Each structure stands twice: as C-alpha cells, then as structure tokens.
Amino acid sequence: LSQNGMAQFQEVMRKQLEASMHKELEKLLSTTKGIEAELARKDFEGFKKIFHSFLQAKGPSVDWAKIYRPPEDLIQPYDKIKARGLPENVAESLNKLVVVKLNGGLGTSMGCKGPKSLISVRNENTFLDLTVQQIEHLNKTYNVDVPLVLMNSFNTEEDTKKILQKYAHHRLKIHTFNQSKYPRINKESLLPVAKDMSTLGENAEAWYPPGHGDIYASFRNSGLLDQLITEGKEYIFVSNIDNLGATVDLHILNHLMSQPDGKRCEFVMEVTDKTRADVKGGTLIEYDGKLRLLEIAQVPKAHVDEFKSVSKFKIFNTNNLWISLPAVRRLQEQNSVDMEIIVNPKTLDGGLNVIQLETAVGAAIKSFDNALGINVPRSRFLPVKTTSDLLLVMSNLYSLEAGSLTMSKKREFPTTPHVKLGSSFTKVHDFLTRFESIPDMLELDHLTVSGDVTFGKQVSLKGTVIIIANHGDRIDIPAGAMLENKIVSGNLRILDH
C-alpha cells in the first residue's frame, strides 16, 4: 500500500472499531433503565469522546523540540504573592470559594477496605475528619460559608455517604457528586469486557472511574456546578483528599480575587521544588505559547531520563489547583477542555489484559485563560500514599491544630526525614501492631526498616537509623531505646522471664 492508501485503510479500521464500540455501549445501556440509564448515557458520551481521541493518537503527544521552560512571570514564587498581604475583606473572597476534595480512591494499597479518606491518620481522625475540621475552623473564624464538595467514585460513594451523617451538626455544607463510570476495554478486541451495567460479582472488574480529569464533565453533569455559580461561588480549590498539606491558602485566594476583570486568572497550579523522590511527578512547561502539564506518560522514551532530571525540570505538580467555576462552565459548553489521554494497562484477576483510558485534572491547564503556576513551600505537599508517609504524619514531627498539620517548631531542619519501611509494614493493620507507640523523630534524617521488626514504647530515633532483620530473624527495639546513627541487623529479641 502507498502511504496514502495506508492512511485510508487505518481510517476505515478506526471507524469500524468506533462503530463496534458504540454498538456494544448501546447493548450495555439496554441492560438498565430509568435514572440509572440516563446517568450511564451521560457517562458514555464522555467515554465515546475519550475513545475517539485514543484511536486517533499516534505515539507520544509532545514534540520534544517545542518544549521550553516557562517564563518566570508564569510561575510566581509564593513569597512574592504572600508579600502583598491580605485585605480587610478576606471574608468576601472566602464566600466565593468552594473546597473540592478528590475522594474516588480506595485504601487497598495500604491494606484497608473502603474509601481511603476513612483511614485514621492522626489521633483517631481520618483524612475526611481533618478536612471537615479545617473548613469548619475557617467558617467560624471568618464567619463565612465555604462548602466542601467530595468527588466520589462508584467505589467510594456508598461508604462516604453513610459516614457524612456524623457531620450533620458541623458548621459547613457538604455536597457530593460522582465521577463517571467507564468500561474497561479488552486489550486485544478493543471492546468492553462488561456484560451489563452492574458493578457486582464477576462484573466488578469491568468498570473503573476514569481519573480526576473527569471532574469537569461529571461536576457539570451532576448539576452542582450550575448550583454553586448561582449561589455566587467563583473558584474551586481542588486537591487530593490524602494530601494533608492542601489547606485553603488565603494569599493565593486573594491573588486570584484581586486580578482586574479582563485579566482574571482562571487556573492556578501549585507546584513545588522537585527532590529525588519526585522524579515521576508531572511538571509545567511552555508549549505553543501556553502553560502545559507534562506527565511522564507523554514523554518519548529517549527523553525519560531528561524528564526525571532535577536540573532541567525543577518543579512538579502538587495537584493543588484553583479553578474558575464560570470558566469550567464555558469550556464545558464549548466542549473545549483539552486533556491528554493516559492509557493505563491492567490485568484482571482471571489474567485478562485490559486498558483503561484516563485523564488528569491538571492537564486541562492549557484550555484556561491567564493560567499561572505558583511555586509553594513543600509543606503544602504532604501526601499519605504509604505507611512510611503515615509514620511521618503520626509522629511528633507535626503538630495538629484545627485539622491542619504543621511542622513542629522543635525540628531544626525544614525538610522531612526520608523513611522507607519494608513489606512487613505495608498494611495499616500490620504497621500499627509493630509500633507500641510512634517513636520520637524530631532529629531523624533517614530511617530504613526491613524484615520482622517491632518498636517498644517511647523509642527515640536520631540521624540515620537502619534496622534490618534477616529472613527468619526478628528484632524488637526495646522500650525507651535511643538509636542515633545506628545500623541494627541480625537478631535482637528481649524476652520477659
């Protein structure tokens, strides 16, 4: 075939695949009715768009030669924004704000059932408890009405709604809406693996929530976007519910509210300086004259090492975002939210290879006017993805006040220690049984623990501490022990007699 003929052949194949997919979706819709069918039809409209784009895609979506480091005025240092101070009418700005937490994830990676937001992280408080306390404190302090919105997924909706009853008498309104439900695609046939619309039994693995980029469509589909705009709300502050550093920042809010009308900044992405631990995080670049989020999945293979280097790309996306509500509505109406597709391969329990098509909320930055990056302190990025992170936030490195964690004044260095706990600590339940109490970590730089290790009460860790129990051995760190710049290995067991 000539090049032209090949292109025509590929186009025919694409159209056939798309037609087959649409037919399968109609079949799935016929297995449900009423309100559920209506919701599914809306979801499928979004899925058809993403599937169409997926079929059109050809290799990595960026031309490496067109990537530039953003000009300085497009990434402002936080100190410069803070230096402007706050106006007297902070309350006026707060009344135009909505806090949105991404609450679609399960706690499975930490060995927990149900929504991740319901894991206890500090003094019996869950991620959700801390969020509620923060916003309630804000509402009381400034006598305002900042609502909390949770974007749930079909995995987390039921458990989250049950738990919300306990906040009925708190001083904040809580709204929820659901992410879309998209069908996983058989990698070979490129058709859905689902037999019907249910998410139970053998069909449970056939569906997935399509990443947090889905917020724009599902927020609007839920009717909540229009409702909040009618109530006079102008901006949403979006963040992951497991990022304990993502609190409402009055200086960033004031910066947004004080722009002249024609120059309103519609999108702020909080970025922070990269360390060696963040090499996979998305970064901001200038591309075709606009700010754009570059994720590792979009990088051509030959340039992955360059992408990971801390010298070329010095910042990464914290996923703390401030977005204009009227702008979201405008872009949704014009169907012009442009996000790259993330193709996420998975293997189901039965061994079937599937793909799920996802998008990331920050990828839409290029669709908004006057977008801006703000380089914030690392303290605004405190995600709890593993029990190693959990150990840090449960320790005396942080003090808790009104739902917010702040680094203890007693710690002499602003950086957090580097903690690596081995596989015996992966599940929250196992982790908790291995610590009689959380050690004193104020002077700790680095902790590595591997194997069957337990900690007694009031242990103190300083400097670099490495504890390695070999296979079949066990190490019990006795109560009251103080380890400073120590390597403990082999077998250490203290027995009562």
What is the DSSP code string of 429-488? Answer: HHHHHTBSSPPEEEEEEEEEEESSEEE-TT-EEEEEEEEEEPTT--EEEPTT-EEEEEEE
Q: Judge whether 385 counts as a catalytic residue.
A: yes
CA 457 to chain centre: 34
HSE value, Cβ hemisphere, 13 Å, CA-based, for 53 = 16
Q: Is 385 annotated as a binding residue?
A: yes
Strand duo 460-469 + 315-324: pairing: unpaired
The C-alpha atoms of residue 483 and residue 111 are separated, in whole angstroms, by: 29
Q: Is 179 annotated as a binding residue?
A: yes
Q: Is 116 annotated as a binding residue?
A: yes
Sequence-separated (6 or more) residues with CB below 8 Å from residue 382: 243, 244, 245, 246, 389, 393, 405
What distance, in Å, lies between the first and last C-alpha atoms of the chain? Answer: 84
Q: Is 175 annotated as a binding residue?
A: no
Q: Any idea which residue has 């109406």 for tokens?
A: 333
Query: Which of 173, 308, 314, 385 is flagged as catalytic?
Result: 385
CB of 427 within 8 A of CB of 111? Answer: yes
Tell me the backbone φ, ψ of residue 344, rounded to 5 degrees: -110, 105
Q: Which two tokens stand for residue 475?
A: 């190490």
Q: Which two tokens stand for residue 107?
A: 């706690």
Strand duo 372-375 + 267-273: pairing: parallel
What is the DSSP code string of 225-257? Answer: HHHHHHTT--EEEEEETTBTT----HHHHHHHH
Give me Rg for the CA atoms of the chain.
Answer: 24
Q: Is 111 annotated as a binding residue?
A: no
CA 172 to chain centre: 23
Virtual CA dihedral for 442, 445, 450, 452, nearest 10 degrees? -20
CB of 327 within 8 A of CB of 180? Answer: no
Q: Is 212 annotated as a binding residue?
A: yes
The binding site for substrate consists of 212
The binding site consists of 116, 179, 211-212, 242, 385
Q: Report the catalytic residues.
A: 385
The binding site for UTP consists of 116, 179, 211, 242, 385
